[in-house]
Structure 1
Amino acid sequence: MALNDQLTGDRKAKSSSRRLTRSLSARALDALGLQRKKTRPPEWRKRDYFQSALSRGIKGIPDERCFVLQNVVRGLRNVPGDVAECGLRFGKSTAFMLTADEAPGRTYCLFDSFEGLSEPQAEDFVQESGKAYWGPSDLGVPEDRVRQNLAGFDNMLFFKGWIPTRFPEVADRSFALLHVDVDLYQPTKDALEFFWPRIAPGGVVVCDDYGSRKCPGAKRAFDEFFADGRGRLIELPTVQALVFKPG
């Protein structure tokens, strides 16, 4: 037998063996009632506003969290005020909110150092390791890349700098939504202290990191700030938390 014929025969035998193994495995799973069935994408992934934002191909937070943000902002169409976002990274969450927002004349005030995270504090230490999961400058994305990802939207104001140094520039605005995605205790606390008095009645604050084991400081800042019951906090399985300001 020629070498090429032998190699071809070996490949066919291996392919046949793999098909047989898959077939037997499928039958065994079926017999045990464990056969995996193909599942269709959930209906929410088919929404026009979700698909439109998804087509931009921006990296960043999981799609499920983006869909939550889209529906929060859609639910705030009749609440007056702008949107503030602290922590942009690639701008994915921003793009999803902008795509879904139906409120006319709303401005997005976007805050980021564009140099990554600031210095973690003791409140950010993960219990298991006794140290912070993130370090200074982690998660940094250059401003020009974020602007490129958000090209085509014109109702944005960028505020480059460490939180809270640029906050006073929006002190005269009111806000329907605050999205906090800064991972660490101190900037999360600073964002809440500044923006909560400026959230309109019926407005919402969203914490991206509330249930993440990597970001205990963010959860602590929210728990401390809302311990007096000034807002109704709801934790989501997406690791986000929503806080509703009484109307």
Structure 2
Amino acid sequence: MIPADETLRGLLKQHLDDHDLIANLASFGRRMHFMKGFAHYEVFNKIKDLPGDIVECGVYKGSSLLTFARFLETFCPGDRTRKVLGFDHFRGLADRTEKDGLDARVGNTAEGWNPADFRDTLFALVDAFNQDSFVPQRPRVELVDGDVCKTAAQYAAENPGLRISLLHLDMDLYEPTLAALEAFWPRLLTGGVVLLDEYAIREWPGETEAVETFFKGAVPRIEKFAWASAPGGYFIKT
């Protein structure tokens, strides 16, 4: 544990009550987490004037999902047609294949990054967010629980009017990333963004290989924010 973590955890245990956490969350966050949030804000700015939903595949504990939802609530409060859709089975990396490599140092194992114990809390947080939204009668966030390899295509088929402004892929693994691209790429608007959390990160080869497989060697020009290590990259559909 690095010194900053030790200090923050100590302060949380000693001095923090519920009100402090809710009202002063920024006081207790680490720089690295805010950097990723700033990167997500930059991406959101590229799509905020487009129609279409934000789709996130790989929700984990909901940090980026609810960040994008807060951006919509802040900058597009009157537009209730746009939602944030989160897809996850909340079982971590249990469905790994040989294309996904193996690196226990970053949690790239069958047991890694498993939010199962947080699932019910996340659903409660989403309910609280929707209740606190500008128009609580029109929920902003929708969670789709299940294997993305099945639920992505099923959701697209059941919602022919679905159009997407931002597709955020953060599943780390080859098969669900490929399945999400196959289901949702046709629904992504021209000018929409694909955001890749682990692209070109050596410890997580599956996501990169899935993107390159889907585009059959003609991968769009992928960029990233030089000041942030994550997300791994993004590109705009032309």
TM-score over 0.5 for the alignment? yes
Residue identity opposite 2:229 in structure 1:
T
Give the structure 1 partner of residue 229 of structure 2.
238
3-state SS of 2:210 partner: helix
CA spacing shift, 1:182–1:58, aligned 2, 3 Å: farther
Q: 1:164, CA displacement in angstroms? A: 2.2
3-state SS of 1:118 partner: coil
Give the structure 2 partner of residue 5 of structure 1.
none
CA spacing shift, 1:217–1:80, aligned 2, 3 Å: same
- Matches of 1:53 and 1:120 in 2, distance apart? 38
- Matches of 2:155 and 2:42 in 1, distance apart? 28
3-state SS of 1:75 partner: helix
Give the structure 2 partner of residue 164 of structure 1.
149
What do the CA deviations read for 1:21-57 (whole angstroms, capped 9, x no partner)? xxxxxxxxxxxxxxxxxxxxxxxxxxxxxxx995597
- Matches of 2:94 and 2:59 in 1, distance apart? 14
Which one of the candidate residues 184, 189, 195 is aligned to 1:195? 184
The answer on 1:222 being equivalent to 2:193 is no
CA spacing shift, 1:243–1:118, aligned 2, 3 Å: farther
- Matches of 1:186 and 1:144 in 2, distance apart? 26
- Matches of 2:148 and 2:27 in 1, distance apart? 28
| Higher RCO structure, 1 or 2 (CA under 8 Å, sep 6+) | 2
Note the residue ranges of structure 1 that are not aligned, 5 or more in a row: 1-51
3-state SS of 1:170 partner: helix
Q: 1:84, CA displacement in angstroms? A: 0.7
Q: 1:228, CA displacement in angstroms? A: 4.6
The answer on 1:213 being equivalent to 2:198 is no
Q: 1:147, CA displacement in angstroms? A: 2.2
Give the structure 2 partner of residue 93 of structure 1.
64
The answer on 1:181 being equivalent to 2:170 is yes
Which one of the candidate residues 94, 98, 105 is aligned to 1:118? 94
3-state SS of 1:232 partner: coil
Task: Using the aligned pairs only, state the percent identity.
Answer: 27
8 Å contact 1:120–1:136 — kept in the other structure?
Answer: no
Moved more, 178-187 or 219-228: 219-228
3-state SS of 2:70 partner: helix
8 Å contact 1:119–1:136 — kept in the other structure?
Answer: no
Q: 1:234, CA displacement in angstroms? A: 1.7
Structure-2-length-normalised TM-score: 0.70
Residue identity opposite 2:194 in structure 1:
V
Give the structure 1 partner of residue 50 of structure 2.
79
CA spacing shift, 1:214–1:158, aligned 2, 3 Å: same
Q: 1:244, CA displacement in angstroms? A: 0.8
Q: 1:158, CA displacement in angstroms? A: 1.2
What do the CA deviations read for 1:56-111 (whole angstroms, capped 9, x no partner)? 9799x833222211221232122111111111111000121111222422111111
3-state SS of 1:158 partner: strand
What do the CA deviations read for 1:115-165 (whole angstroms, capped 9, x no partner)? 222321111114x89xx9321564224321112333223311111001122
Structure-1-length-normalised TM-score: 0.68
Which one of the candidate residues 35, 47, 51 is aligned to 1:64? 35
CA spacing shift, 1:138–1:197, aligned 2, 3 Å: same
Residue identity opposite 2:144 in structure 1:
F
Residue identity opposite 1:157 in structure 2:
E
Residue identity opposite 2:156 in structure 1:
V
Count of aligned positions? 192
Highest Rg: 1 or 2? 1
